[in-house]
Structure 1
Amino acid sequence: MGHGGDVIQELTTDHREVDDLFARIEKVPPGSPERKHLVDLLTIELVRHSVAEELHLYPAVREHLSGGDAIAEKEISEHARVERLLKELEERGADAADFDQLVVELKTEVTAHIQDEEGVLFAALRRACSGQTLDELGEKVRTAKKTAPTRPHPGAPDTPPANKLLAPGTGLVDRARDFVTGRGK
């Protein structure tokens, strides 16, 4: 969850963890309960990552990059599509007829988002921001992931100030639900 380094290092490490989870999912036979467990772990990681980006990365994109508002809106709309897919997967067992197709759609969306962030956005941020700014953003992202929700909430606000006010409370409720159900262990 928290890896250290500047915001780009932190988020890139998250991306590799997501890639690893997709690879693990693909190795498990369709319909297996282990496949659902791995999708739950993937969901937890993606939701925490997305919330942290929406709280801290995208406001920095708006502030530091030319055309930052449009870039941030594009990224947030990609998150919304991913969150809708995660919600659909949350509502299904691994034996559901469309479970594997939803996983494929999710992987396609997430992979494209990761490639865009790593290939374009992160390079632009590295050019536009000081090392200190990137380090501070990395710390903010790590802190946000600790209190972020762990379940998809497609209807929740994804821009400041509402997301900053609601995310910690939603995260607390999600972690309580996870504890009670054993989800994510």
Structure 2
Amino acid sequence: MTDRPYDSAPGDDVVDVLTRQHRQFLDLVDEIQAAGRPEVRRDLADVLTAELMRHAVAEEMHVYPAVRDHLPDGEAAVEHDTREHQELEEQLKALEGLDAADAQFLEVVGRLEATLRDHVRDEEGEQFPLLRARVPRERMLEMAEQVRRAEQLAPTRPHPAAPHSELFHKLVGPGVGFVDRLRDRLAHRDV
């Protein structure tokens, strides 16, 4: 998607950036469900997939380490969030293989929406307020910039068999992201 209306503004901390992206994802789900034409559903699903994959990888690289370090039960929270990322990735992979005209397409979108809403509720309702309370503002601003940079190189397609680890994303992720963006261009997928 070349026009990203949900991009962050100067002075946004990592919570601002991620919360704005959550709104984008939920709006895209609504648009997919409301779209009457299968080709529009497919295009919107491709945008959702690319943006959600970028977001998840950036979170795993730069936000989850802070959650682990600064939140009570941070390790358990990260494990829970990582499981939800895995579910989302599996659901996105299922969407990728379905014809958007198939009734099953919207069923998978519905399951994806439920997982996404639960994930957003956990992060925005519990984790983000604690991060803001426990992590210095300067570090929150640094994480926002790290997230923005990571999203530039992150994969745009689901790879559910890949590990959900900071090290994997830093070492292998940019190469996977490059291949995904090349595949996107060859498929004329404007994400």
Deviations 1:162-183 (A, max 9, x none): 2221111100000011011111
Q: CA shift at 1:97, angstroms?
A: 3.8
Deviations 1:119-159 (A, max 9, x none): 11101101110101100110000000010000000011111
Q: Distance in 1 between matches of 2:141 and 2:164?
A: 23
Amino acid at match of 2:78: A
Answer yes or no: is 1:73 the counterpart of 2:94: no
Q: Give the aligned partner of residue 12 of structure 1.
A: 19
**TM-score, structure 1 normalization:** 0.95
Q: Give the aligned partner of residue 82 of structure 1.
A: 88
Name the count of aligned residue pairs: 184
Matches within 5 A, 1:3-152: 3-4=8-9, 5-29=12-36, 32-152=38-158
Amino acid at match of 1:11: L
Q: CA shift at 1:27, angstroms?
A: 1.7
Residues 52 and 145 of structure 1 are in contact (CA less than 8 Å); yes or no, is this contact kept in structure 2? yes
Q: Give 3-state SS (helix, strand or coil) of 2:166's partner.
A: coil
Q: CA shift at 1:37, angstroms?
A: 1.0
Q: Distance in 2 between matches of 1:27 and 1:161?
A: 39
Residues 33 and 106 of structure 2 are in contact (CA less than 8 Å); yes or no, is this contact kept in structure 1? no
Q: Distance in 1 between matches of 2:133 and 2:180?
A: 37
Q: Give 3-state SS (helix, strand or coil) of 1:150's partner.
A: coil
More displaced stretch, 171-180 vs 63-72: 63-72
Amino acid at match of 2:8: H
User: Gaps spanning 5+ residues in structure 1: where?
Assistant: none
Amino acid at match of 2:22: H
Residues 61 and 69 of structure 1 are in contact (CA less than 8 Å); yes or no, is this contact kept in structure 2? yes
Q: Distance in 2 between matches of 1:183 and 1:18?
A: 18
More displaced stretch, 51-60 vs 15-24: 15-24
Residues 156 and 163 of structure 1 are in contact (CA less than 8 Å); yes or no, is this contact kept in structure 2? no
Residues 44 and 184 of structure 1 are in contact (CA less than 8 Å); yes or no, is this contact kept in structure 2? no
Identity %: 42
